[in-house]
Chains A and B, each alone.
Chain A
Amino acid sequence: MVAVSSWGRLSKRQHEVVALSDRDHVIQQLKSSRSGIAHGMGRSYGDVCLNPDGVLWNTTGLDRFISFDESTGLLACEAGVLLRDIQRLVMPQGWTLPVTPGTQLVTVGGAIANDVHGKNHHVLGSFGDHVQRIKLIRTNGAATECGPDLLPDWFSATVGGLGLTGVITEAEIQLRRVPGPWLATETVPYGNLDEFFRLADDSEADWEHTVSWVDCISGEVGRGIFMRGNPAHVDHRPEPKNRKLTMPLVPPISLVNRLSLRPFNMAYFNLKKRQAGSGIAHYESFFYPLDNLLEWNRMYGPKGFFQYQSVVPREVGREAVRAMLGEIARSGEGSFLAVLKTFGNRQAVGMMSFPQLGVTLALDFPNQGERTLKLFERLDAIVREARGRIYPAKDARMPRDLFESGYPRLKEFIQYRDPGISSAFSRRLMEN
């Protein structure tokens, strides 16, 4: 047994970790295993990738590419391949992953199972939109291939299926062309939420990537920094050297706290405001700003941290976001990792996919116990009333009614579950 935490470091419970490394051997391994759940890089914040006292099937050894057609951009690989390794392989050949989350240190299997989104949702949807084939192994030994045109119901259950329909061993992904590793960017400060929404709407047509940092201490005003970018052709620019730092230890208390939050946010806002304007950014620093600070999740101290990420429909978005920011500012909690962005009008392929038309707010909160949980209840009320939903990849505590109302296809999804698979998340929110 080994102690395993997810990214939020909220728990450190014992797991029996079974390493998967030979894709043809996975059937045997699953058949002879107790109930378990697939575990990729454990970059989910909460408990979708955990199964205390039970089995974790660690997929990071399934890290082989299978084929890549440089003329069509179709990539086949094992499910434990990291998005980083794909990007580094294909970028020099003029290809890229169409959708990528804010860290590239995640596996293909994890990206599918949470149907992750990036900054370009309004243009290219979520990760699952670009998956052409999935090979899924069930604990009874059955191997299934599915895709948008092959057993589409299984495909739809598995994309965003939180690992509960089987273990993905292989996937085919359609990459897309890019002119190179650079993006032309623009940074625009906004003074309030109205300005944010105006910027977001104005950017939809001409900008592929949009995201914003919101200053959570500004409360209902909602000031922040809007960032947008487009892939760009840039000649003769040396790629940046990779300098990595590691958070060397877990500080005894969270470095993010009431004392540090206000001055940090002020300084950050003012710095970015001065840097406003156009620029050129390398894709790694544009998409994955935190990946060079290894183990940054330690900064929240020994009690770990939560992320609260919701999406609320566009019609009520402004009011709901305003209300949430108000609650957060009044509570004095929060952190400088706060993201506000709009999602476009695209139907996700997964029954349980998170992204939907609207606006999403994501914030980290150091775990202050009851106080933090109480704040979340107030935020839940706002999300509930707005008919929004919470992102399972980030969740460790959402109430059941909110899960059920947020994911209306839950009942349909449950029919596709593998009875030999169970996670802390599924036990918390779906009986077993």
Chain B
Amino acid sequence: MTDNKKKIVIAGATSAIAEHCARLWVSEAAVDLTLIGRNSDRTERVAADLRVRSPQSVFRILEADFIDPLAIRQLVDGIVAEGSVDIVLIAHGSLPDQAVCQQDLTACHEALTVNGISPVLFAEAFAGHMQKANRGTLAMIGSVAGDRGRKSNYVYGAAKGLVTRYAQGLQHRLANTGVKVVLIKPGPTDTPMTAHLKQQGARLASVENVAQLIVKGITQGKPVVYVPAKWALIMMVIRHLPRFVFNKLEI
């Protein structure tokens, strides 16, 4: 019965960005959605909302350890065993306090793991299956912060940079297959992750808008999607600023 439904898997399903992507997907058509979160109560709440929005969709909630490679392998094998997937969105991440990371190596380690290593392990676990099936779109949320290291958040930026380089390699590997790899790079977006920035008066993109652009980018299978699009230009400038200029910037 679920055969004709698009099969979508989201890791980090409680992320505000991912949740809004999911709302858009279920509003387009009934889907078969697997939601992976580290806490099943929180994930269930997201699922309940989506169920109301789309009673015809099918939902599965999986609680997971996001750090343990073997657990990730097992989890993903289990998901894929039930049929090949159309879309995988790897969304989890957390914005660490850079100053704390500089002092506390445990915090630094955690930030690198959750933003860099964990998403790559998830992607790698899916990639082999998708290659075999020769279909599907694998999307990862990186960040504009991964484009150039800067003093205010380079630990986070380094982890996102890892995701960027990884996605690039995976795109190369899967270039001649039916699998598309999409790297999403949001600019500052209004979600719980940036609540403290908002309080300081930062200008943030609306999460609805960002999700809309992400869903569109995934549908089109674009290799790199900056959201909102203006960040492509801004980051091109930032990447190319000569060091003597860049080093003077308070960013």
Q: List the interface of chain A (C-beta within 8 A of B).
A: 1-3, 16-19, 21-24, 61, 64-68, 70, 77, 89
Is the beta-carbon distance between A17 and B45 smaller than 8 angstroms?
no
Is the beta-carbon distance between B198 and A19 smaller than 8 angstroms?
yes
Is the beta-carbon distance between A2 and B201 smaller than 8 angstroms?
yes
Size class of the B contact interface (CB-based, 8 Å): 10 to 19
A-B contact pairs, 30 of them (CB 8 A): A1-B199, A1-B201, A2-B198, A2-B199, A2-B201, A3-B201, A16-B199, A17-B198, A17-B199, A18-B195, A19-B192, A19-B195, A19-B198, A21-B16, A21-B192, A21-B195, A22-B42, A24-B41, A61-B192, A64-B46, A64-B49, A65-B49, A65-B52, A65-B53, A66-B48, A66-B49, A67-B52, A68-B52, A77-B52, A89-B52
- In whole angstroms, how far apart are the Cα atoms of A3 and B200 in the complex? 10
Q: B63 to chain A: closest CB distance in Å? A: 16
- In whole angstroms, how far apart are the Cα atoms of A86 and B126 in the complex? 36
The total number of A-B Cβ pairs within 8 Å is: 41
Contact flag A64-B192 (CB < 8 Å), given A1-B199, A16-B199, A70-B55? no
- In whole angstroms, how far apart are the Cα atoms of A125 and B41 in the complex? 37
Q: B92 to chain A: closest CB distance in Å? A: 16
Mask, B146-160, CB within 8 Å of A = 1, is 000000000000000
Residue in B closest to A16 when the chains form the complex, CB atoms: B199
Mask, B28-72, CB within 8 Å of A = 1, is 000000000000011001101100110100000000000000000
Residue in A closest to B208 when the chains form the complex, CB atoms: A63
Q: Say what secondary structure dominates the interface of chain A.
A: strand
Chain B positions within 8 Å of A67 at CB level: 48, 52
Selected from B48, B195, B199, the residue in CB contact (under 8 A) with A64 is B48
Is the beta-carbon distance between B55 and A64 smaller than 8 angstroms?
no
Is the beta-carbon distance between B195 and A66 smaller than 8 angstroms?
no
Chain A positions within 8 Å of B16 at CB level: 21, 61
Residue in A closest to B50 when the chains form the complex, CB atoms: A65
- In whole angstroms, how far apart are the Cα atoms of A66 and B201 in the complex? 31
Chain B positions within 8 Å of A64 at CB level: 45-46, 48-49
Contact flag A66-B192 (CB < 8 Å), given A1-B199, A22-B42? no
Residue in B closest to A75 when the chains form the complex, CB atoms: B52
Chain A positions within 8 Å of B195 at CB level: 18-19, 21
Q: A226 to chain B: closest CB distance in Å? A: 37
Chain B positions within 8 Å of A23 at CB level: 45
Is the beta-carbon distance between B192 and A22 smaller than 8 angstroms?
yes
Selected from A3, A17, A19, A65, the residue in CB contact (under 8 A) with B48 is A65
- In whole angstroms, how far apart are the Cα atoms of A55 and B55 in the complex? 38
Assuming A18-B195, A21-B192, A70-B55, what are 5 further A-B pairs, CB within 8 angstroms? A2-B201, A16-B199, A19-B198, A61-B192, A65-B53
Q: B148 to chain A: closest CB distance in Å? A: 28
- In whole angstroms, how far apart are the Cα atoms of A3 and B192 in the complex? 19
Q: B49 to chain A: closest CB distance in Å? A: 4
Q: Using a CB-CB cutoff of 8 Å, which residues 153-203 of chain B contact chain A?
A: 192, 195, 198-199, 201
Chain A positions within 8 Å of B201 at CB level: 1-3
Chain B positions within 8 Å of A89 at CB level: 52-53
Residue in B closest to A70 when the chains form the complex, CB atoms: B55
